[in-house]
Chains A and B, each alone.
Chain A
Amino acid sequence: MTAPRTPHWRLAAFSTTLLVFLAGCATTGYESVSPTPMPDLPPIVDPPARSGAPTLLIAMPNSPNFVEVRKSLVSEVRKNFNIYTLAVGPESTPADLAAAIEVVNPVCVVLMNNATMKLYRQYQTAHPTAPMPPAVLLMASFVEEVQARLRRATGIAYEVPGVTAFVHLRSVTSAPINRVGVIYRPPFRKFVEHQKSLAAKEHVELIGVSVPNDVTAAGLRGALHDLANGSKVDAIWMLNDNGLVRDAKFVDDAWRTELSDARLPLIVGVSNLVEPSSPLGTLAVVPDHEALGLQAANLIFDLADNDWKVENHPVELPLSVKTVVDVNLVRASFGLRPDALSHIDKALE
């Protein structure tokens, strides 16, 4: 299961790690999240406004993943709402957001990514007594924690629940998946605890091992070894935490070295860690952005039907994912279920 260490492999590994780092920044990493603008994207064009229709203000980076969610969301709600999109970038200020809110007087604001939510928090702080429009939070790390710091906000978590990944792994491999190990740093403790109860519903025991924030490669490797050999887990779940996937050498020294010995399926949260030419991740489970737009639309309709009482609406978990599978690895090491290929979004061989 260990890949030959060729220059090509090294480059791939390095790129992969960079991608993980950037994906973490763009999506689910714990470290501070900033917008990830993309070059040459066309400007976002809103549907023509209709007189008398309430307006949704969408504040978001003009980047592909966010645009994909917006497209799906807008296609669902455009018959009921006017849409006003504020493209948010690194230079955006709370005043920009305040100006948009003043101009549009939205019935609801949709905020995408942590940086945009930070702007909105600053806007709320600057207007402590002003009535706030309800806010729907999307595509940010730990939305529940963000929600707690905002008035009148709810949203959809961006982290894919472990149970979703475990059920998908079961549908791909014929190996039993009853005990899954996860290594986490202290900021992820609450998240992992929640995952344990969700996983238990599908009869998966999630075994967490805490490591320090500044865990070394040797420390991480030791934790992986304990999970594989001491706890006898059936699979490992790698969290999207930049602190656990720092660079190519770190990935080599900790994850790859230990897992090549342990021969356990590794569930990852970014597709580039599933690469048959340098096997590491067995299954990647990533958010389905188009479906996330539909879920957000449903949430907005629910809120509208409930007089915009967001306080009664807990943060939802994401319902839909896409899967990427190293089919060679599964077939050779864990057993591929006969119908697996019909249920995988991207099968790599």
Chain B
Amino acid sequence: MTLRRNRHPPRPIAWLLLGLGLLHPSHPARSAMAQGAKPAVHVFLQLDAKSSVVEKTLQQHLPQLGIVVFGRFRDFEEGLTTGRPDAVLSIRAVLEQRGKAPSLQGNRGGQSAEPYVLASVNQPLEGSLAGKTIGVVDLLGRDGTQTFLNGLLKATDVKIKRVAKIEDLLPLLEFSAADGIVLPRSMLSRLLERTRLVIKTKELPGGPVGLPAVAVLNPAVRDVIVRCFQELDAPSKRLLGIDSWSVQ
């Protein structure tokens, strides 16, 4: 259903734009085969670090696993279909949406879940949220994220603004494009570090939300995956926002 016109444009333009660095292909979905014989683990988390940094760190510290980190929901979703991972590391809500039960649950300070907060500028968003526009990271696709947000806010008539990355929530407030943003409480310090807006928060009634967990999809490699993650060093666990694992 595409109309296309034939053209023969000059090659130098392609070279120049490639040089411009604007032609980054999206994160390719890689299959388990592409990682050799290593069990493939797909990671989808919103963390206080770029996906590339998380991927490099996990690859260094989990050399027995083929780690692919996805920064965006659509890439993660596509990777699940085309990459056929042996395990997935994400927050519990993402795993549950796909009917996957965690084999390992991440904990922080003895807790397996964390509160989420609603942040707004100058004053907390009190009272009814009807008609309010709330920004949130796209963790579960359009419908899934709306359901997730409704559950957190205990409201059904909020307008949702999904963003691709957690750092994109701040511009929603700077541009007055949203009345508030929803994020894990653990991410609040980073937000406050970045901005000079006066941020007010309130804890959401629908929380807490489960911390990162590992769901093993291929039982044949369960033991090696569980063992590798259990042996993960402390700084890497901190990067994931946890300090310990519990076997489920």
Contact = CB atoms under 8 A, between A and B. Distances in A.
Q: Do A and B come from one complex?
A: yes
A100 B7 contact: no
Given A163-B174, A198-B174, A290-B164, A36 B22 contact: no
A100 B3 contact: yes
Interface in A182-212: 198, 201-203
Given A63-B17, A201-B174, A288-B164, 5 more contacts: A36-B9, A71-B26, A271-B21, A291-B164, A295-B163
B162 interface: yes
Contacts, number: 168
A307 to B, nearest CB: 15
A65 interface: yes
A87 B172 contact: no
Interface in A262-289: 270-272, 286, 288-289
B3 A38 contact: no
A76 B142 contact: yes
A320 B168 contact: yes
A343 B167 contact: yes
Interface stretch (A42-50, A146-154, A246-254): A42-50
Contact of A167 (B50, B164, B195): B195
Ranked nearest first, the 5 interchain pairs of A and B with the lowest CB-CB distance are A271-B21, A291-B164, A37-B9, A342-B49, A46-B1
A43 B138 CA distance: 29
Interface of A: 15, 18-19, 22-23, 26-27, 36-40, 43-46, 49, 62-65, 68, 71-72, 75-76, 82-92, 96, 100, 161, 163-164, 167, 170-171, 198, 201-203, 270-272, 286, 288-291, 294-295, 297-298, 301-302, 316-317, 319-320, 322, 324, 341-346
Contact of B23 (A65, A71, A316): A65
Nearest to A170: B194
Given A38-B14, A86-B3, A203-B196, A320 B175 contact: no
Nearest to B175: A317
Contacts of A75: 74, 78
Nearest to B3: A86
Nearest to B167: A343
B98 interface: no
Contacts of A203: 196
11 contacts: A15-B19, A22-B16, A39-B10, A46-B1, A65-B23, A87-B4, A89-B5, A164-B174, A171-B193, A171-B194, A319-B163
Nearest to B173: A201
B4 A270 contact: no
A172 to B, nearest CB: 11
Contacts of B16: 15, 18-19, 22
Interface residues of B, number: 51
Nearest to A87: B4
B197 A201 contact: yes
Interface of B: 1-5, 7-11, 13-14, 16-17, 19-26, 48-50, 52-53, 72, 74, 78, 138, 142, 159, 161-165, 167-168, 170-172, 174-175, 177, 193-197
B4 A44 contact: yes
A317 B10 contact: no
A34 to B, nearest CB: 11
A40 B22 CA distance: 17
Given A65-B22, A272-B19, A38 B9 contact: yes
B13 A342 contact: no
B177 A346 contact: no
A320 to B, nearest CB: 5
Nearest to B193: A171
Contact of A161 (B9, B19, B138, B175): B175
A304 B177 CA distance: 18
B8 to A, nearest CB: 7
B50 A319 contact: no
A276 to B, nearest CB: 14
Given A39-B10, A319-B172, A343-B50, A294 B162 contact: yes
Given A43-B4, A46-B1, A62-B4, A202 B17 contact: no
B197 to A, nearest CB: 6
Contact of A202 (B14, B26, B197): B197
A84 B26 contact: no
Contact of A91 (B4, B5, B161, B195): B5
Nearest to A97: B3
Contacts of B162: 294, 298
Contact of B142 (A72, A91, A171, A301): A301
A344 B22 CA distance: 15
A290 B23 CA distance: 11
A199 to B, nearest CB: 10
A198 B2 contact: no
Contact of B11 (A39, A84, A301): A39
Contact of B17 (A38, A87, A343): A38
Given A76-B74, A202-B174, A36 B20 contact: no
